[in-house]
Structure 1
Amino acid sequence: MSTTQPSSRISGFHKLSPDERLQKTADFAGLDADAVTHLRNMGNLDPALADRLIENVVGTMNIPLGIATSLKIDAQDYLIPMATEESSVVAAVSNAARQCYDHQGFQTSMSGTFMIAQIQLVQSPNPHDSRLRILERKDEIRSLCNECDPILVQMGGGFHDLNVRVLQTEGGPMVITHIVVDTKDAMGANAVNTMAETLAPHIERWTGGKVYLRILSNLADQRLARARAVWTCEAIGGPAVRDGIVSAYQFADADPYRAATHNKGIMNGISAVVLATGNDTRAVEAGAHAYAARNGHYGSLTRWEVTPEGHLAGSIEVPMAVGLVGGATKLHPTARACLQILNVQSAQQLARVIAAVGLAQNFSALKALATTGIQKGHMSLHAQNIAMMAGALGDEIAVLADKLVALGKVRVDIALEELKRLRG
């Protein structure tokens, strides 16, 4: 029998239909018929659309879509669609929102809808002279940028500002040009990248240097979404719980090891809404973590403190480059449905809602850590997954999950034993 490893160099793979690609993949990997049938079923996404959204598509990865309730944001009630595979995320947001609902809920604001593109100039004979030469061309740069996207300009967006700095690096000084663009209801990556590429040859001509990179920055620190809320002492279980939450935040803000997990919990909520609305989860996550380290120390994205009345006040400020137009946001039918559920009218409104969700998520995580521990609520939901992995069906799932939680042993080997007992 031949043991020759099949080659992954498949000529013309991108030209095949999704079904033909799937068959090639199945042959290469030795997939069984059940796996092929599963991948062939693309659910509620048209295979033709899937084939346009990414390259070499063979299937779709369906993520559960849940609804968080009880969100009152800027005096308006919302149901929040969240796409995530992690247990307890949706419940955490709903519980946090319920506990501050009667105390005005969440108040939000936004710094603007500005995105930054960077143009990297090297080999400049006089870096500081080059910096001034570029700044002197601001009006010309404005015209060049706005000519790239006249529709954006008609909507009130377009070039907003210019910043140039000399950056000292291992390879010598670089002149870094930042163009700041108001992208309005678009996330804006394509718009600002086009503008940066258009400017590149002009900057070379003006300075005598060489441009390499010309691309947006995901550290969208001129596109900050902010949210704040107050939880009364009575609503959250008293002063001991309040002080435990504040102490947990202080730990995270001082220690990067804790902050990484603390901020990951915040992003559990944020990324779930970003994904549900067809926006770029990786861009938002990169921007958030970079912003958390903006002062040279990686700390908390949230702040928690005690009000003069003795209540708990929480706030968050985070870059939020999301949009309502372009890409999957407009093309993906599930994303469009989620935006209908949210009923947001602008990218700013969507960003503010997402910030509120991140704050709610953080509240629930810190409260759990400060009281019963994070595992109690998380494991009760995780137990259902373990029950299904053990083979439980129908009503058996809830019964077996409850048994595992009661035993305090949410493990597959225990689930297998208990399922045998349950079935007699």
Structure 2
Amino acid sequence: MSVNSRLPGFYKLSPAERFRTIVEASGLAESELASLASSSESMLAIADRMIENVIGTLPVPVGIAANFTINGRDYFIPMATEEPSVVAAASNMASVARIHGGFHTSSNQPIMISQIQVVGAKDPQGARLRLYERRQELLDLANEQDPVLVKLGGGAKEIEVRIVEAASTNYVVVHLIVDVRDAMGANAVNTMAEALAPLVSEIAGARVLLRILSNKADLRLARVRATYDREALGGADVVDGIIDAYAFAAADPYRAATHNKGIMNGITAAVLATGNDTRAVEAGAHSHAAANGRYTSLSHYEKDSAGNLVGTMELPMAVGLVGGATKSHPVAQAAVKLLGVTSAQELAEVIVAVGLAQNTGALRALAAEGIQKGHMSLHARNIAFAAGARGDEIEQVAAKMKQEGHVRLDKAERVLAEIRTPVDS
């Protein structure tokens, strides 16, 4: 049947009413959509405040990565992800890194940039300098928008004015550089940019168009390094294999895309668990990977004088502890409490450590037994469940598929049928 997606007043309904409306409008049986509806009324109420047109929630597994020592302190790392082997790989490499002191991190101050785009300036170079001449006036006006942030030591610190050459014109672009303290900072910097727009337009003698933050947060970098014991990794050949795998990613953007995806498996899981903006962090990371004009590896690997593997990484990490889902979602609040971090900078440093551990785990698997062995071993349980296995059957089916070397739905269904068929006496 055809459906009509025009639903006047849909946004005014309660989540339960929206769900019933969607069932009726879709022509599907309520049982087919029942999983979309949340069984928790309290979570549904929270979700309804967070986004629009809510009809349910999607629970994502939250696991704990263990063994992490970062700057001499131990952490339990909450990770929200649906992908098997991610939490296990991070925990495993964290245990190897502990042998030589764990992860060591540093970070920049929590600086975010908001861009104000000026369109149609007759004298772009002149406009650029006029804006610099009014620098203090612009900064003062920006800081009037958020006196609490200023009181905490943050606020607008500097401006930068660029000429951006586009296809048919030049834009004057003001960068407002803001210390956002323990916030991710999007709302703060966007509010400041909006307030500055009329004055920027007056000074430049042209129209202001966009006023929005940049997710290329390259003034807000977090860095991590770790030494992985050669023997604990599997020996000198494995170390050399990891370095060759890294070198491949550094040289080839096709490999780098998957290599960096492995890093983000860990980073995104920790960002999501703490209620931060996964899309913003991912955009910042991938833009940083292409900062020199060619997409390449975010991480770097080399050997120390003893032949141990040394992994390092530096990337933008725009995360916060105040505002957004971090303060409104109870799971995120619990995750932050479990982590025990006290500043956005500390959270950023913990997250990049998870990313490096995740990357090292993936590279070790590639260099040693191959990525599929460990990944498919964990994935086998999901396939067994999808085939209909329940309870003890799940492990039986998974074990049989691993033994046969084929982890596929058709194999799981066959094995399950064999398990459930009584043996003739």
Secondary structure at 1:108's aligned position in 2? strand
Q: Quote the offset at 1:167 in angstroms.
A: 1.2
Q: What CA distance in whole angstroms lies between the structure 2 residues aligned with 1:39 and 1:353?
A: 33
Deviations 1:336-385 (A, max 9, x none): 00001100000000000000000000000000001111000000111101
Q: Quote the offset at 1:38 in angstroms.
A: 2.7
Q: Which residue of 1 aligns with 2:255?
A: 258
Quick one: which of 360, 379, 394 aligns to 2:391? 394
Q: Quote the offset at 1:237 in angstroms.
A: 1.2
Q: What CA distance in whole angstroms lies between the structure 2 residues aligned with 1:283 and 1:328?
A: 14
Q: Quote the offset at 1:149 in angstroms.
A: 0.6
Q: What CA distance in whole angstroms lies between the structure 1 residues aligned with 2:371 and 2:22?
A: 40
Q: Quote the offset at 1:41 in angstroms.
A: 2.5
Asked if structure 2 preserves the Cα contact closer than 8 Å seen for 1:100 and 1:235, the reply is no
Task: Note the residue ranges of structure 1 that are not aligned, 5 or more in a row.
Answer: none
Quick one: which of 73, 76, 89 aligns to 1:76? 73
Taking every aligned residue pair, what percent have the same amino acid on both sides?
56
Deviations 1:128-167 (A, max 9, x none): 0000011111110111110111111111100111111111
Q: Quote the offset at 1:112 in angstroms.
A: 1.4
Deviations 1:32-83 (A, max 9, x none): 3334443332448532221110000000011000000000000000010000
Quick one: which of 312, 327, 333 aligns to 2:309? 312
Q: Which residue of 1 aligns with 2:215?
A: 218
Q: Which residue of 2 aligns with 1:281?
A: 278
What amino acid maps onto 2:154 in structure 1? G
Are residues 1:407 and 2:400 paired?
no
What amino acid maps onto 1:386 in structure 2? I
Quick one: which of 135, 139, 150 aligns to 1:142? 139
What amino acid maps onto 2:203 in structure 1? W
What amino acid maps onto 2:359 in structure 1? N
Q: What CA distance in whole angstroms lies between the structure 2 residues aligned with 1:27 and 1:163?
A: 54
Are residues 1:197 and 2:231 paired?
no
Aligned residues: 421
Q: What CA distance in whole angstroms lies between the structure 2 residues aligned with 1:72 and 1:293?
A: 30
Q: Quote the offset at 1:225 in angstroms.
A: 0.7
Quick one: which of 166, 174, 177 aligns to 1:177? 174
Using a 3 Å threshold, how does the CA distance of structure 1 residues 42 and 120 change in structure 2: closer, same or farther? farther
Are residues 1:167 and 2:164 paired?
yes
Q: What CA distance in whole angstroms lies between the structure 1 residues aligned with 2:280 and 2:68?
A: 25
Asked if structure 1 preserves the Cα contact closer than 8 Å seen for 2:94 and 2:357, the reply is yes
Correspondences of 1:97-116 after superposition (within 5 Å): 97-116=94-113
Quick one: which of 122, 140, 145 aligns to 1:125? 122
Q: What CA distance in whole angstroms lies between the structure 2 residues aligned with 1:44 and 1:280?
A: 24
Q: What CA distance in whole angstroms lies between the structure 2 residues aligned with 1:31 and 1:57?
A: 18
Q: What CA distance in whole angstroms lies between the structure 1 residues aligned with 2:180 and 2:39?
A: 33
Asked if structure 1 preserves the Cα contact closer than 8 Å seen for 2:99 and 2:228, the reply is no
Secondary structure at 2:99's aligned position in 1? helix
Q: Quote the offset at 1:238 in angstroms.
A: 1.1
Deviations 1:79-130 (A, max 9, x none): 1000000000000000000111121000000011000001111110100000
What amino acid maps onto 1:225 in structure 2? A
Q: What CA distance in whole angstroms lies between the structure 1 residues aligned with 2:189 and 2:394?
A: 50
Asked if structure 1 preserves the Cα contact closer than 8 Å seen for 2:67 and 2:91, the reply is yes
Asked if structure 2 preserves the Cα contact closer than 8 Å seen for 1:130 and 1:207, the reply is yes
Q: Quote the offset at 1:207 in angstroms.
A: 1.4
What amino acid maps onto 2:312 in structure 1? S
Q: What CA distance in whole angstroms lies between the structure 2 residues aligned with 1:393 and 1:103?
A: 42
Q: Which residue of 1 aligns with 2:61?
A: 64
Correspondences of 1:311-390 after superposition (within 5 Å): 311-390=308-387
* Structure-2-length-normalised TM-score: 0.97
Quick one: which of 294, 299, 305 aligns to 1:297? 294
* Structure-1-length-normalised TM-score: 0.98
Using a 3 Å threshold, how does the CA distance of structure 1 residues 43 and 89 change in structure 2: closer, same or farther? farther
Asked if structure 2 preserves the Cα contact closer than 8 Å seen for 1:233 and 1:311, the reply is yes
